[in-house]
């Protein structure tokens, strides 16, 4: 955790050109105007959606949407929350996201440990396999995967009653794990390569088993990378639309991101409600991002910096 912060802080506080002149240069002013305008333009769609969501339908139908609001209210949020049964979908998202993130991290850490601490011939092939798999568009595999899921029976307690891999939380969790472990293995193996070999060798001399080296030495040292990847994965998996849409037959079990598509038209009859529903879906990710911005960004850059 602190290491990530330090790295980013160090990068950010890179020796700035010594400021001899206090005079404001015109180029700087132009740059600030440009960046400020860009940032504001970038916020417009979001602000417009928030504005729409806070107005009543009566208000907007009387005055149009492009008008000053006579009053602002959270009514649409309440309606979307209750009428469309959003709590259930949020719960589905949690049921899928939490195990998917944890298992992805555990699996990727295991493979990364293997390829980074031992010199086996298969290492390079494994890394290539995982990385390439992660880059495939999901639509390439969906047709056979969908059929496979329809053919794999599961006990009811694992499949929320469907009896199949299709329609089950487990099915969606597993495909997330399979896909995301590509990226995470790549990132974690690069991270683990930076941990000195002397550490595990010393443990080996002390008689520590491979599992102990992994669990008690390597994993704790990877905490910064885990923090970054966990943040990133949570947002990615929560934001998944495709798997949740295709691997569930009906809306009821879908995670929130996929469910809002089917709620449109069914419950969300006007723009104000749509905006409120969509924004509520985005709130968890926005909160995570604003709270853990450093982790999120360093997660992305961990993957990008080594190329």
Partner 1 sequence: MTVITDAAENVAGAGVSGSGRVRRLTGGDKIVLGLMVGVPTLLHVALVWVPTLVSILLSFSQWDGIGGLATIKWVGVQNYTTMFTVSPTFWPAVQHNIIWLVFFVLLPTPFGMFLAYQLDKSIRFTRFYQTAIFLPVVISAAVTGFIWQTIYDPDNGLVNSILGTNKPGTSYIEWLGDSHLNLWAVLVAASWRQAAYIMILYLAGLKGFDPALREAAALDGATEWQAFTRVTFPALRPINIIILVVTIIESLRAFDLVYVVAGTNGTKPGLELLSILIANNILGESSLVGYGSALAVVLLVISLVPIVSYVFQTFRKDQQA
Among positions 151-180, residues that touch partner 1 (CB under 8 A) are 151, 174-175, 177-179
Binding mask 213-252 for partner 1 (x = CB under 8 A): -xxx------------------x--xxxxx--xx------
Nearest to 176 by CA among 110, 220, 232: 232
Q: How far is the CB of 135 from partner 1 (least distance, A)?
A: 5
40 touching partner 1, by CB under 8 A: yes
Span near partner 1 by CB under 8 A; candidates 69-77, 82-90, 104-112, 154-162: 104-112
CB atoms within 10 A of CB 59: 19
Span near partner 1 by CB under 8 A; candidates 73-81, 82-90, 111-119, 153-161: 111-119
CB atoms within 10 A of CB 100: 25
3 touching partner 1, by CB under 8 A: no
3-class SS at 153?
strand
Binding mask 121-150 for partner 1 (x = CB under 8 A): ---x-xxxxxxxx-xxxxxxxxxxxxxx-x
Sign of CA dihedral 284, 300, 12, 46: negative
Span near partner 1 by CB under 8 A; candidates 69-77, 79-87, 107-115, 222-230: 107-115
81 touching partner 1, by CB under 8 A: no
Comparing CB distances to partner 1, the nearer of 44 and 157 is 44
| Phi/psi at 191 (5° precision) | -70, -45
261 touching partner 1, by CB under 8 A: yes
CA atoms within 13 A on the CB side of 100: 30
| Phi/psi at 246 (5° precision) | -85, -35
The DSSP code for 103 is H
Q: How far is the CB of 168 from partner 1 (least distance, A)?
A: 14
282 touching partner 1, by CB under 8 A: yes
Q: How far is the CB of 232 from partner 1 (least distance, A)?
A: 10
Within 8 A by CB and 6+ apart from 193, the residues are 116
Whether the Cβ atoms of residue 160 and residue 168 lie closer than 8 Å to each other: yes
The DSSP code for 264 is B
- Determine the size of the site formed for partner 1 (CB under 8 A): 116
60 touching partner 1, by CB under 8 A: yes
């Amino acid at each position: 955790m602190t290491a990530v912060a330090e790295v980013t802080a160090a990068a950010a506080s890179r020796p700035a050109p010594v400021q001899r002149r206090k005079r404001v240069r015109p180029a700087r002013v132009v740059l600030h105007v440009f960046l400020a305008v860009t940032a504001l333009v970038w916020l417009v769609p979001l602000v417009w959606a928030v504005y729409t969501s806070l107005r009543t339908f009566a208000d907007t139908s009387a005055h149009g949407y492009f008008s000053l609001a006579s009053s602002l209210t959270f009514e649409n949020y309440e309606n979307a929350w209750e009428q469309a049964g959003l709590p259930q979908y949020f719960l589905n998202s949690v049921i899928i996201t939490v195990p998917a993130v944890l298992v992805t991290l555990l699996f990727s850490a295991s493979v990364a440990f293997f390829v980074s601490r031992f010199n086996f011939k298969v290492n390079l092939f494994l890394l290539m396999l995982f990385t390439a798999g992660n880059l495939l568009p999901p639509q390439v595999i969906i047709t056979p995967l969908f059929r496979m899921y329809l053919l794999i029976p599961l006990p009811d307690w694992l499949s929320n009653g469907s009896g199949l891999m299709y329609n089950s939380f487990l099915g969606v969790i597993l495909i997330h794990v399979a896909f995301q472990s590509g990226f995470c293995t790549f990132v974690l193996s690069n991270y683990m390569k930076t941990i000195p070999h002397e550490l595990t060798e010393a443990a080996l001399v002390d008689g520590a088993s491979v599992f102990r080296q992994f669990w008690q030495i390597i994993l704790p040292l990877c905490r910064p990378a885990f923090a970054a990847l966990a943040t990133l994965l949570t947002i990615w998996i929560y934001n998944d639309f495709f798997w949740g849409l295709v691997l569930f037959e009906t809306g009821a079990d879908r995670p929130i991101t996929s469910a809002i598509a089917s709620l449109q038209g069914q419950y969300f009859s006007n723009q104000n409600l749509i905006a409120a529903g969509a924004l509520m879906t985005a709130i968890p990710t926005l909160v995570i991002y604003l709270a853990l911005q450093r982790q999120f960004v360093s997660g992305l850059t961990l993957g990008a910096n080594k190329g």
